[in-house]
Chain A
Amino acid sequence: MSDKEPQPFGTGDPYDFLGIDTLLDDEERMLRDTVRQFVRDRILPEIADWFDQGYFPVDLAKEMGALGLLGMHLKGYGCAGTNAVSYGLACLELEAGDSGARSFVSVQGSLAMFPIWKFGSEEQKQEWLPRMATGEVIGCFGLTEPDSGSDPASMRTRARRDGSDWILNGTKMWITNGSVADVAIIWARTDPDDNDGGSYAGFIVPTDTKGFTANDIPKKLSLRASITSELVLDDVRLPDSLRLPGVNSMRGPLSCLNEARYGILWGAAGAARSCYEAALDYSKERVQFERPIASFQLTQRKLVEMMVRVNKSILLALHLGRRKDRGQLTSAQVSFGKMDNVREALWVAREARSVLGANGITLEYPVIRHMNNLESVYTYEGTNEVHTLVLGQAITGLNAFR
């Protein structure tokens, strides 16, 4: 079919209505198709069981590494070095599988590898990044604490100088991959006198260091196919060679979060797409009153609202991705994408659930799994509320939360 031929009235591709595919280059499409196939082969057949059992198969890390998913947008040190749009497309496809798989990749690449890549010494990069890119070494990121979420600068974890070493004490909470990580990036407060005038420092903490423990958080009803832990640091002694030398302020962890949020705004669009497609397929098969329910006006409205939101979310993600590749993306624009795409995805998931009726509440279909996952995504990596206030500040010049 030629692109130039006008489409007959009332037709369109339900799976790519706006023809967003044509905005990607061949390389981006091949990469996207590869991740989609990987998700189809390795995640979708088992995800319902993993979610049901509260299990994430850590062995997937090496397969993801072989593909090039881990730290894929970083240059050098065994990383693939793709553009930002490709990283986004991979996040979209992974999260169309499950937010847990995308979270794993976000944490490994953007939260654990990125700070080493950006703020680490050459020796630290050589030591850690190649093994993290293959999935041999799994990382996690410790910033949030039980009493310090949206206001991370209020953290209580402290790093105290002791001769040439540092002693870390504190507790980190809601840490993805915590108990399976080989290495944790831990952010802590410091005395400016010990830290070139800085009040915060990041440390590369091997998780077998004495005084480090990780406890899984049980009874989650969201992101069940993902490991979430509490990290306890009890007099953890580290040499200064494990401190990230390139940063001594909150700019460090916040720049990591900005990277991860960029992936999330793509991922949410993937979860939304999966819900919309499930509702579309179901509504054409499900017959009531002797007609497919897709033929009812109320259902059509739901399907169209979902389709429009999915297409807008992907367009927004792609626009922000192109800006990132040109070096023009601001953190407030990332807030725009994270805030809007996640809330739209949640809206789509709930609408899709209603189309599927009772079937929508089982793990036979992806919808309620995405819906539950998105409740976490709505809050983590900057809550919807904080991103809203970041945008409010950006357009008024007035800070509403400090």
Chain B
Amino acid sequence: MNIVVCVKQIPDPAEPGSLDPGTKTLKRATKLILDESDSYGVEMALQLADAAGGGEVTLVSMAPNNEVSGLRTALAMGAAKAILISDPALAGSDALGTAKVLAAAIKRVEGADLILTATESSDGYTGTVPEQLAELLDLPSVTFAKHIEVSDGVVKVQRQTEAGYDDVECPLPAVVSVTAGVVEPRYPSFKGIMAAKSKPVDQLTIADLGIDPSQVGWAGAGQEIVSVEQAPARESGEIFEDDGTGAEKIVAFLENLKVI
């Protein structure tokens, strides 16, 4: 079974990030790493390919520069190859622009039975790319998978809900977004790390994908960041001195919030 995993390379969340005042977006000139939320999709794909008795896991990623270090991490985990769409014109892409580029790249992967994504990236948090991708590829979309099995051309998903989960089945190929609970990602093994550097990373421009620059980046974005503000300072809480009525006051406070 051949599986495509969409992965994003993001600035290391452990390093203090900062915003570019010009573009009002996160500065990405630092070294980029594999978004941890994508490591679950990579692990799930590797396990599903294993369970199916073979097949390739292909990574698809886009970046305004030609950063590959995050992809190498996923290749070290065991993915077979990667497609990186790297083009200065991609800077400023919104979610739909991103989905258009990823969809065009996924179409180049022959025989993709399943496309996995995270539910959202850890730096942008739009959370809409998986559904847009499914629409652009004209494939069914299942979101928030906490468990995935594949048999006889059907993907069976436990879809996380607020109350529990739904059992969902859909025919392959399909786009499935996975939560952080779906599997425990493996550590890249040393053999994997050493093999990763010789695995193919196909670097493409948007011209290679036949995409017009006006469709992506700042030019194609259907949204504009008008201003960026400091988060409001948290208001200090209410302090009750216990004069014997403390419990009642707390109950009244919680009732007011409608939490009890």
Chain A residues with CB under 8 Å of chain B are 1-2, 26-27, 30-31, 34, 37-38, 66-69, 72, 80-82, 86
Contact = CB atoms under 8 A, between A and B. Distances in A.
A26 B72 contact: yes
Contacts of A31: 190, 193
Contact of A82 (B30, B72, B190, B197): B190
A30 B187 contact: no
A69 B189 CA distance: 9
Given A1-B30, A26-B69, A26-B72, A38 B194 contact: no
Contact residues of B: prevailing secondary structure: helix
B189 A68 contact: yes
Contact of B197 (A27, A67, A69): A27
A26 B189 CA distance: 15
Interface in B185-216: 186-191, 193-194, 196-197
A86 B197 contact: no
A27 B187 contact: no
Nearest to B15: A1
Interface in B135-188: 186-188
B191 A30 contact: no
Contact of A67 (B29, B30, B190): B190
A82 B193 CA distance: 10
Nearest to A68: B190
A68 B30 contact: no
23 contacts: A2-B29, A26-B72, A26-B197, A27-B194, A30-B72, A30-B196, A31-B190, A34-B188, A37-B187, A38-B187, A67-B190, A68-B189, A68-B191, A69-B190, A72-B190, A80-B190, A80-B191, A80-B194, A81-B191, A81-B194, A82-B190, A82-B194, A86-B190
B76 interface: yes
B189 A27 contact: no
A67 B187 contact: yes
Contacts of B191: 68, 80-81
A34 B187 CA distance: 7
A67 B194 CA distance: 12
Contacts of B194: 27, 80-82
A69 B11 CA distance: 28
Contacts of B61: none
B71 to A, nearest CB: 11
A30 B188 contact: yes
A212 to B, nearest CB: 32
B73 interface: yes
A82 B186 CA distance: 19
A352 B259 CA distance: 48
A81 B191 CA distance: 8
A30 B76 CA distance: 9
A38 B187 CA distance: 8
Given A34-B187, A80-B190, A82-B194, 4 more contacts: A27-B193, A34-B190, A81-B194, A86-B190
Nearest to B188: A34
Interface in B67-82: 69, 72-73, 76
A40 to B, nearest CB: 11
Contacts of B190: 31, 34, 67-69, 72, 80, 82, 86
Contacts of B72: 26, 30
A67 B30 CA distance: 28
B244 to A, nearest CB: 35
A25 B63 CA distance: 22
A67 B189 contact: yes
A143 B189 CA distance: 32
B30 A34 contact: no
A91 to B, nearest CB: 13
Contacts of B69: 26, 30
Contacts of A81: 191, 194
Contacts of A66: 186-187, 189
B65 to A, nearest CB: 13
Contacts of A86: 190
Contacts of A82: 190, 194
A34 B194 CA distance: 13
Looking at B72, B186, B189, B190, the one whose CB has the most chain A CB atoms below 10 A away is B190
Nearest to A78: B191
Contacts of B197: 26-27
Contacts of A69: 190
